[in-house]
Amino acid sequence: MKTQSETGCFGGVQGVYSHASAATGTDMTFGLFLPPQAAQGKVPLLWYLSGLTCTHENAMTKAAAQGWAAEAGIALVFPDTSPRGPEVADDAAFDMGQGAGFYVNATEAPWAPHFRMWDYLTVDLTRLLFDNFPLDEGRQAITGHSMGGHGALTIAMGLPGRFASVSAFSPITNPTQSDWGRKQFTAYLGSDEGAWAAHDATLLMRARGFEGPVLVDQGGADQFLDLLRPEALAEAMAARRQDSVLRIQPGYDHSYFFVASFMRDHVEFHAKALARA
């Protein structure tokens, strides 16, 4: 692991680091905020997964999360959204290829050799973080925006017992029924739709739900609302009687102005769950 930068931030440290990943076969970069409480011992970890076209840097600089995390004594990790480099497959469209990993392990050419973001997050980066930083592995939570909201929900439900809570900002909730999903899943996972179900939050909610609390915020003026399909997840959560809140926020779009406006609510939501973990 290489330290790219470390900067004082709200009494803690905002770092950027790079490392070689066995899962992706590439070098990967991530941001990690350690609150001031980390100087005295291990702290809980909140994962933040970003959306299409983003790198580790977008949420790190735009989500307004570090101040609230410092107040709560929670670390924040900001992973990248895909493998990158000249040897990594790409696509001219913004919603495929580099910057658009969709948090799956690709099985199809030309994506399979490097696009293994599920394993990267849940194995490679997980081990590196807990082996090298003062983080409490028994207290983790996860959130994300858009494609990252999809990733947060599916990873949380796909790994029972790992996360105390899950939240999302404007997540892609039903990708098997959306153009933000069907296109990418066909390319990454093949045409067998049975292989897609493990990466659809609505289907996972119907099948198994989540053992902790769920919070979803969706902008009412989101320009991508028809692609995100929040009503599908809402129906699945209601049918399962999931411990959950889904809020439509009038006047907010898909941008980081929306994310930053409600970040305090999400950090405090996770802080309460992590305190019980």
What are residue 46's phi and psi, to 5 degrees?
A: -110, 120
Catalytic site includes residue 146: yes
Residue 188 identity (one-letter amino acid): Y
Q: Which of 50, 82, 146, 178 is catalytic?
A: 146
pLDDT tens track for 176-217 = 999 999 999 999 999 999 999 999 999 999 999 999 999 999
CA distance 133 to 139: 14
Span 121-137, mean pLDDT? 98
Bridge partners of residue 48, in order along the sequence: 143
- Full set of structural domains in the chain with CATH: 2-276 (3.40.50.1820)
CA atoms within 13 A on the CB side of 222: 24
Candidates 114, 254, 266, 270; catalytic one: 254
- The one catalytic residue in 80, 124, 200, 222 is 222
- Name the band, by pLDDT with cuts 50, 70 and 90, for residue 152: very high
* DSSP 8-class letter at 121: I
| pLDDT on residue 97 | 98
Residue type, 243: D
Amino acid 64: pLDDT? 95
Question: Does the annotation mark 222 as catalytic?
Answer: yes
Q: What is the mean pLDDT of the chain?
A: 98
Q: What is the pLDDT averaged over residues 206-233?
A: 98
CB atoms within 10 A of CB 190: 14
